[in-house]
Structure 1
Amino acid sequence: MSLRILAVDDSRTMRDMLNLALNHAGFTTHLANDGEHGLEVLENMDEPDAIITDINMPRLDGFGFIDAVRSQEKYRAIPILVLTTESADTLKTKARNAGATGWIVKPFDPPKLVRALQLVTG
């Protein structure tokens, strides 16, 4: 199954790694360099099957991005995985309360990320 994934991360290296791993799995990726850019990309693409977002980004961080996505009815059911270096339980709770579906700590294992995406997209 070819999933459409929106990946939002301010690190070019991380976006490249995500793009490579997801494309290798047969997914179609759309990339954004921060939360504001992520919202722009989201509005201009076919609805994604899932979203991956970092937390610490300029202009609009991951929490603000998740809030903005979840505030729009048409995007409320899209799974959102947080992919970040952060591991504090308080941040995980904050992300869940904002509407995140799951949390993965960097560095990520590509096969595990693919499995997580397949799991959350059913």
Structure 2
Amino acid sequence: MSKFKILIVEDDVVLRELLEFLLQREGYETHCCNDGSEAQDWLRGSTPDLVLLDLQLPIISGAQLIQWLRNREPSRAVPILVLTSLQDDDDIANALDSGANDYMVKPFQPKELQARLRKLLNIQSQKRSFS
């Protein structure tokens, strides 16, 4: 089985590099983008197995990117894990209602993040094996 490819969309350089390190250490292939616009450009030519996404992004917000992903056939079913500092009930509900599969608030525990990623990727690979 090939490595899972995870797209990290995070504008905080330090956090983006930490996430990339944590995920690569777990054996994931990663691609990083600084903002929603850069992510859209990359996604036009690639489809990751999962998107790890901040909501507070420059140019195109995380919420806008979720809607864009869900409206495109190649990425409609790609799991999205939101990792953001927004912790208001409305922010969480809006992200989940617009198509995010899971939501975590920063600061986060690396083991919890990895467990949530594994869960989403397991569900994704089970769907693929049945289709």
Scaled by the length of structure 1, the TM-score of the pair is: 0.94
Equivalent residue, structure 2, for 1:60: 60
Identity, in percent, stands at: 35
Equivalent residue, structure 2, for 1:111: 111
- The alignment's C-alpha RMSD in Å is 1.1
Equivalent residue, structure 2, for 1:7: 8
Letter in 1 for 2:13: R
Letter in 1 for 2:103: W
User: Secondary structure of the residue that 1:5 maps to in structure 2?
Assistant: strand
Equivalent residue, structure 1, for 2:38: 37
- C-alpha distance in 1 between matches for 2:41 and 2:19: 19
Letter in 1 for 2:30: T
Equivalent residue, structure 2, for 1:21: 22
Is the 1:30–1:41 contact (alpha carbons within 8 Å) kept by the matching residues of 2?
no
User: Secondary structure of the residue that 1:75 maps to in structure 2?
Assistant: coil
Please report how far the alpha carbon of residue 60 of structure 1 lies from its aligned counterpart in structure 2 after TM superposition.
Answer: 0.5
Letter in 2 for 1:90: D
- C-alpha distance in 2 between matches for 1:49 and 1:115: 16
Please report how far the alpha carbon of residue 115 of structure 1 lies from its aligned counterpart in structure 2 after TM superposition.
Answer: 1.2
| Larger Rg over CA atoms | 2
Please report how far the alpha carbon of residue 44 of structure 1 lies from its aligned counterpart in structure 2 after TM superposition.
Answer: 2.9
**5+ long unaligned stretches in structure 1:** none
Aligned runs of 1:53-92 on 2, under 5 Å?
Answer: 53-92=53-92
Letter in 1 for 2:25: H
- C-alpha distance in 1 between matches for 2:26 and 2:113: 10
Alignment length (residue pairs) = 121
Scaled by the length of structure 2, the TM-score of the pair is: 0.88
| 1:11-56: CA deviation from partner (whole Å, max 9, x where unpaired) | 11111011000001010000000111111122233x2111011011
**5+ long unaligned stretches in structure 2:** 123-131
Q: Could you list the runs of 4 or more consecutive aligned residues of structure 1 that deviate by over 4 angstroms after TM superposition?
A: none
| 1:54-104: CA deviation from partner (whole Å, max 9, x where unpaired) | 011110110001011111012111100000011111011110121000001
- C-alpha distance in 1 between matches for 2:74 and 2:86: 29
